Structure 1
């Protein structure tokens, strides 16, 4: 797939996509063998001031996916880990909040990140 918005390369605008200039992708293709293991270095949420933004129904992205994984591991989330904060995720968050005697909002903020072990 070609990148149709090269001005967005280097910007925090995706939900986990790796954005590169087309000519750089083509050059890598000639250097790296298909099947080579690649490691992406950096924080799971990307760089920028909104790394740990508040999450609620309608939020999407790798941060939602991380929350879903933590809730699933703790036995509160039963849905698909898809990075989409829908009703199933909201219900899991509420169950988790009740279990920790937190204010039940169904939303994720700093306190919830701490309780989930994502932030210290």
Structure 2
């Protein structure tokens, strides 16, 4: 092994595996989720009549709004306190996995609300 191998390893650790990359991912999720939630809210509220939807869908809709609010809080904490990002890196990793699953099912959920 020579010096170039360790340089590549160091660049991966500083770039791709950096907690700041997670924060940028949160920003992308926040913009995507916020736009989709806003569009679906207006579509459901004005086209379907939100009062006629089932309690399950109302709860899921409100729950997704709460998840976005929690993401906003976590994103603001990570941006305001940069050193905290390194301390809670494991939590941020778990939250990243949960939100990745969340955004995978997000469009289908609102599609089914619209059909119901």
TM-score clears 0.5:
no
Question: Rg: which structure is higher?
Answer: 2
| Greater helix proportion | 2
Higher relative contact order (Cα pairs below 8 Å, separated by 6+ residues): 2
